[in-house]
Structure 1
Amino acid sequence: MATRREVAERAKVSVRTVSNVVNGFEHIAPATRERVLRAIEELEYRPSELARSLKVGRSGLIGLMLPELDTAYFAELTRAFVEGGAARGLTVVVDQTDGDRDRELALLRRTAGGSLFDALVLSPLALHAEDLEVPGAGPLVFLGEDEFPGYDKVMIDNFQAAREAVEHLLAQGRRRIAAIGAERSGRSASSLRLEGYRAAIGAHPDLRLPKIVEYVDGFRRPEGAAAMRRLLDGGEPFDAVFCFSDALALGALRALHDAGVSVPGEVAVVGWDDIEDGRFSIPSLTTVSPDKQWLAETALDRVVRRLAGERLDPELLVGPHRLVVRESAPDLAPGVAATNR
């Protein structure tokens, strides 16, 4: 690889002049600039991004810390971050933590002095507020509702979205609605979705609606299928199920199909995430759709503004969501009652 000195010798200018051309300085004679650019092309010189980043104190790299990358929701969210970063001249580097505290801490410390990351966007499962006292750490932005005082948090309203999903099922005449996705560990997202589920049912005390909650150890298809099989074997009748992720819902759909239970005729199903797979399942999946593009754009905007030196108060930024109604829990025509199981 050619060096900057070789370019200078070919163009018959100083090394400083080559640096000025590479860095886009304006006050260079057109003939000199042309000579340097011609030498760069002839020698196939490529400026060192590492050297440039050391000079300006920035790498242009934003770390994105996610618990898992092989689930559709996080894959789609990652794409939104990568595209949003590129539009801002940034490179988003993604790492998977599996919710392991040591890995989350290691990535956090890489934002401190000497790190390759200018900032970090985190979706942690195991970090505690006291873990964030890392001297010299760059800007941190959190995804979700976990309590990290003093930092930006970007989220959707899990409680309200869950309540709206269950209210949709109630509006269709469903009266025995199960929930799949509660976690005994009490993670904030699943806890808020459980609270929204309970609030929607509790708003109708005159109907004496049961609360049927199935706990899981993860948000993947196998856990959804296993939870549905437990519900089917448990003897508690139900005519709808609200799943806390689309992956759980897709697993539940498979278990219902295997058991010969029609969807939505006997049981309606609602998921959460609006992943692409849900649009192509049979039946297609009604789901809570968080605005993944908004989440990524908002988190990146906070990062960029903080890196630019703006003094911003930490904010809780709540983005939009909507219920996408599809075949698994459709709207019913007026006067048509749900077929209760």
Structure 2
Amino acid sequence: MASTLRDVARLAGVSVKTVSNVVNGYPHVSTDVRRRVEAAVAELGYRPNAFARTLRTGRVGVLALVLPDTDLPYADDLTREVVDAAGRRGYRLVVERGHDEESTDTTCPMPVDGVLVGAPRALTATGRPVVLIGGGSSDGSCDQVSVDVAGAAEDATAHLLRTGRRRIAAIGAYPPEPGGVPRSGTAGYHRALRAAGLTPLPGHLLPARHGRRADGYRAARDLFAGPDRPDAIFCLSDPLAIGAMRAAFDAGLRVPADVAVIGVGDIEEGRYSRPSLSTVAVDTGFLAREAVARLTARIDKPHTAVAAVVAPHTVLPRESTGGPAI
């Protein structure tokens, strides 16, 4: 027999109304109560009756996740987490791919109640509630649950410095924003070097527009062929870092003895590569839960104040920087 709101309320030790508030994404619920209710929902496998809600509210019970047409390093994990988070609130999820990383269209070929947009540069408005999720920038007009890209870059570079590396290159360092403002990943990399009294050597900041393995390979190959070979490389994504490690192998270099490598994203491939890849892990579960909570709250109350939330991240030292295997 399917679980009910009353079953969840009994297990969590709260009222049925409180369970309804949590399931429907109302923001004014304490963190402790929300966690208890979500734990009870997960334990009982409770799923709200989406058809009944559609009849009651006129909503279709579907959210869209729009991802850029690039290799977002944690896209697979994020998608799984969003599916779970949406399901716990009685929503189904459709996934769409944006056309490119500079412009993300939030249109969707089927009716949806709201849109989660991953790492946009610009948005095409549709009138639906929108929450930005992951990287990218916002003009403050909609909610955002983001990754601290600058902080992740700074922490990764600081980790390389602690291992004794000093000639640290960066792959995926985009050119400055209009007006000369450094992009976030580049800014964090520079901050860490400045704190150690260092500056990047000429040619040690290389762009990688799409963040793919081939991009990392080509950039690292150019670094190794240059006059100032780096002793460490920070990559703005794990796929870039995996490509860079292959380039090191092809150049006859040892990782990490000759060059240390660290990425961002903690993709599964990096855990089982040889050597295993040091990385900055992003809490994709937090990203998904908070983004879905913000979106469902805005669906219910469109004029709720805009909020910005930052997900935590953690440096995971592995073999590619001299750490343990996994």
The TM-score normalised by the length of structure 2 is: 0.75
Q: Which residue of structure 1 lines up, in the alignment, with residue 288 of structure 2? A: 296
Q: CA deviation at 1:209?
A: 6.0
Q: What CA deviation, in whole Å up to 9, does each residue of 1:180-223 have, x standing for no partner?
A: 00224859xx9211110011111222x56636211222100000
Seen in structure 2, the aligned counterparts of structure 1 residues 186 and 52 have a Cα distance that, compared at 3 Å, is same
Q: Secondary structure at the match of 1:182?
A: coil
Q: Which residue of structure 2 lines up, in the alignment, with residue 120 of structure 1? A: 115
Q: Which residue of structure 2 lines up, in the alignment, with residue 104 of structure 1? A: 105
Seen in structure 2, the aligned counterparts of structure 1 residues 141 and 103 have a Cα distance that, compared at 3 Å, is closer
Q: Aligned equivalents of 1:284 and 1:276: distance in 2?
A: 10
Q: Does 2:61 align with 1:63?
A: no
Native 8 Å contact 1:99 1:126 kept in 2: no
One-letter amino acid matched to 1:120: V
Seen in structure 2, the aligned counterparts of structure 1 residues 326 and 254 have a Cα distance that, compared at 3 Å, is same
Gap runs ≥5 in structure 2 = 1-49
Q: CA deviation at 1:56?
A: 3.2
Q: Which residue of structure 2 lines up, in the alignment, with residue 160 of structure 1? A: 151
Native 8 Å contact 1:166 1:200 kept in 2: yes
Q: Secondary structure at the match of 2:166?
A: coil
Equivalent of 1:138 in 122, 128, 131? 128
Equivalent of 1:324 in 311, 316, 326? 316
Seen in structure 2, the aligned counterparts of structure 1 residues 99 and 54 have a Cα distance that, compared at 3 Å, is farther
Q: Aligned equivalents of 1:76 and 1:69: distance in 2?
A: 15
Structure 1 segment 273-312 matched on structure 2, within 5 A: 273-309=265-301, 311-312=303-304
Runs of 4+ displaced beyond 6 Å: 49-52, 100-103
Q: CA deviation at 1:105?
A: 5.0
Q: CA deviation at 1:157?
A: 1.4
Seen in structure 2, the aligned counterparts of structure 1 residues 257 and 203 have a Cα distance that, compared at 3 Å, is same
Native 8 Å contact 2:121 2:137 kept in 1: no
Native 8 Å contact 2:70 2:100 kept in 1: no
Q: Which residue of structure 2 lines up, in the alignment, with residue 169 of structure 1? A: 160
Seen in structure 2, the aligned counterparts of structure 1 residues 305 and 50 have a Cα distance that, compared at 3 Å, is closer
Q: What CA deviation, in whole Å up to 9, does each residue of 1:160-193 have, x standing for no partner?
A: 1211111111111101001000224859xx9211
Q: Secondary structure at the match of 1:106?
A: coil
Structure 1 segment 258-277 matched on structure 2, within 5 A: 258-277=250-269
Structure 1 segment 8-87 matched on structure 2, within 5 A: 53=54, 56-68=57-69, 73-87=74-88
Native 8 Å contact 2:68 2:104 kept in 1: no
Greater RCO, 1 or 2 (C-alpha within 8 Å, sep 6+):
2
Q: Aligned equivalents of 2:70 and 2:76: distance in 1?
A: 6
Q: CA deviation at 1:100?
A: 6.8
The RMSD of aligned alpha carbons is: 2.7
Seen in structure 2, the aligned counterparts of structure 1 residues 180 and 276 have a Cα distance that, compared at 3 Å, is same
Equivalent of 1:183 in 174, 179, 192? 174
Q: Aligned equivalents of 2:72 and 2:201: distance in 1?
A: 32
Q: Aligned equivalents of 1:70 and 1:213: distance in 2?
A: 20
Gap runs ≥5 in structure 1 = 1-48, 333-341
Q: Aligned equivalents of 2:302 and 2:212: distance in 1?
A: 40
Q: Which residue of structure 2 lines up, in the alignment, with residue 46 of structure 1? A: none
Native 8 Å contact 1:145 1:153 kept in 2: no
Q: CA deviation at 1:51?
A: 9.8
Q: CA deviation at 1:85?
A: 1.1
Q: Does 2:239 align with 1:247?
A: yes
Aligned residues: 271
Q: Secondary structure at the match of 1:154?
A: strand
Q: Secondary structure at the match of 1:223?
A: helix
Seen in structure 2, the aligned counterparts of structure 1 residues 213 and 104 have a Cα distance that, compared at 3 Å, is same
One-letter amino acid matched to 2:304: L
Seen in structure 2, the aligned counterparts of structure 1 residues 173 and 124 have a Cα distance that, compared at 3 Å, is closer
